[in-house]
Structures are given as C-alpha cells and as structure tokens.
Amino acid sequence: MSLRLGDIAPDFKADTTEGPISFHEWLGDKWGVLFSHPADYTPVCTTELGATAKLKSEFEKRNVKVAALSVDGLESHKGWIKDINETQNTTVNFPIIADEDRKVAELYDMIHPNASEKFTVRSLFIIGNDKKIKLIITYPASTGRNFTEILRVIDSLQLTANYSVATPANWKDGEDVVITPAVKDEDIAAKFPKGYTRVKPYLRTTPQPNK
C-alpha cells in the first residue's frame, strides 16, 4: 500500500556513507527530508546532491536533517561523492543510504516498475518531528528538484503546524497568511493580535504570526 500524508514514516536500519543509522533514532526530535535517486553517477542527481550540500545551513536553521538514498552500494556512493564534490564545488555533508537490497525503497514505495525493477522513483518525503509524513513529491528523471521550493514548503509546514493558518499560492516566508475557516471571526482578535483583512467571509488574511 502506498504511503499517504499523515502516515508514520516507516522506520528502518541501513548503512550510509556516514555509518549505520536507525532512521527514527537518527531523526530524533528534528524534521527530516528523505529523497531518492535512480542510481549513482546520474547527471541530474549529481547536481541535486551538490545543491543540497550547499543548503546545509538553511536546513539546520529549520531543524531539518537530510538523507539521500539510492539502490547502489557504499563503495559506489563514496566514488560518486568525489565526483559531486569536484563538479559542484561543495562537500557532501549528509548521509547517502546504501539500499542494495531495496528494502528502504520498497518500504517507501520508491521502485518504479514502469522504468526498471531496480531504479527508484525520484521521490522526496518531508517528515515532521512527530515522525509523520507531511509532504510527498515525485519527479521524473528528466527534471531536477527545486530546492528553493522544498525550503518554502518546510517553512509553510512548520508555520501551519503551530498556528491556525494556511499559506496562499506562491507564499514566501514573511508574507501574509490565510486564517483557517475553523477560526470564527469573533476569535480572530485573540489569536491574531496583528489584525486581519476580511476579503470574503471565507478568505481572511493576517500578517505571518511568528514574524
């Protein structure tokens, strides 16, 4: 059965380029990003892992740990990391999971039967500090991930987890947000002391409450 939003992220033990991990224990009380790659030494994924390494401080600022996965082995991963560091002018600073037996890929429904029995779908999971899956994005092999969007989504997920708000189209951190319909008009002043704008009875905006 496919994983859905709100499901507990499956726990697993695996070898990685930074040593063995038990996934839930490794996450601790932090948020997580787990993303898969079809195989080592693939061109688009080389750029993605480089981009991820360069964003280390941005992930840390958001209390997020990152792990990548491919179904190749540790020795292959280590060779690939040298290429990533060289071509992307960075240093890979997060674990890459070795999943030769495809155990993790199958747990997370990452295998792509229409392409190959080996290749994983290029899936990305954002996992909350409650170990629940908050977001799933799947990309085709030809399209590199947008890591600015991934950070934006994390900002939205962390904000909306703590306040009765939602984020509108194209929202960025610091912009106005939407008050959820569950909040009654008479309760807005107490919950949102910065004030609000009533565009329609169902559309009420307020300045981002944690800024």
Distances (CA, A) of 110 to 27, 68, 116, 170, 189: 20, 12, 11, 28, 45
CB 177 within 8 A of CB 194: no
* Active site residue ranges: 45
Q: Burial level of 124, CB count in 10 A (0-12/13-18/19+)?
A: buried
> In this structure, what token pair is assigned to residue 37?
């790659």
CA distance 144 to 122: 9
